[in-house]
Chains A and B, each alone.
Chain A
Amino acid sequence: MRKFKINRNSEIEPSEEQLKRYKDFATVSHGYKKLTKRPKKPLYRDPKLFLILFLLGLIAFLVFLENEEEATTNETQVEESYE
């Protein structure tokens, strides 16, 4: 939020010296590169992402185990019925 106040003494204009001092394209170039460059760390090295990946893997493994168990039970039942 801002409020206005009257300046009765001087003009609000930057001096030539100020314009020269702050004109620096290297900072812009550096800022742009920082904004657009890819993260250095691989995604799996990020602790949060690692946890998510680990949980997804765990769920997939449990689903696989569950399916295996079901298949084994079905096979046993079929064998028993033949006997």
Chain B
Amino acid sequence: MIKKRKLNQFTEAQLIETAKQSEKAFGELYRRNFDKVFRFAFKRLGGNDALASDITQQTFIKAFAAIGKYEDKGYAFSTWLIRIAQNEINQFFRKNNKIYTVEVEEKHVMNFMDFMEIDERENQDKQEKLIQILNNLKQEYLDLIELRFFQQKSFREIAAIYAISEANAKMRLYRIIEKIKKEVY
């Protein structure tokens, strides 16, 4: 009990160092980061809670196995976990040949339309047309759009997830947006 109270007071960096040798410390990291990883998987899987749970557990198992190799690059620990979760989800989509439907919130689609400078954001036909264009994109392009606009990740977080620079993340996204714009107009 005393040890648990002590772990609660650890900073993230201290916990990571301790977790390299202690399961209890990793347990504390799990408790602190579970919600973020589960929310991420839940949204990416369109609200399928059982599947999001499986992906989240798998993410933490892999993180625990690889924590010895973790290097602090100035990002939050949760960003590293989300990177693992992202790979797990992509692996899941690749393994399942069937088409998996992911629901996105209407307000996020509207925000994306604002960004794309598409007028009449509330026009459902226009929204559907945009979604149709997105659905014909390569999966890797969809990932970026989804992270930025539907999961509202910052460019800094996206850069950390892909292990690229922020400038590179911005450039990749703007190139995809240009492609979409050409199809919309």
Contact = CB atoms under 8 A, between A and B. Distances in A.
Interface of A: 1-8, 11-14, 18-19, 22-25, 27-29, 31-32, 35-36
A31 B38 contact: no
Contact of A12 (B30, B31, B42, B127): B42
30 contacts: A1-B98, A1-B99, A1-B100, A2-B142, A3-B99, A3-B102, A4-B101, A4-B131, A5-B103, A6-B105, A6-B127, A6-B128, A8-B106, A12-B42, A12-B103, A13-B42, A19-B35, A19-B38, A22-B52, A24-B57, A25-B30, A27-B57, A28-B30, A28-B57, A28-B60, A28-B61, A31-B57, A32-B64, A32-B65, A35-B61
B39 interface: yes
B53 interface: yes
A6 to B, nearest CB: 5
Interface in B145-172: none
A contact face: mostly helix, strand, loop, or mixed:
mixed
Interface of B: 23, 27, 30-31, 34-35, 38-39, 42-43, 46-47, 49, 52-53, 56-58, 60-61, 64-65, 93, 96-106, 109, 127-128, 131, 134-135, 139, 142
Contacts of B30: 25, 28
A7 B101 contact: no
B104 A18 contact: no
A23 B134 CA distance: 33
B102 A5 contact: yes
A28 B96 CA distance: 24
Contacts of A32: 23, 61, 64-65
A12 B142 CA distance: 18
A2 B100 contact: yes
A5 B98 CA distance: 16
Nearest to B61: A31
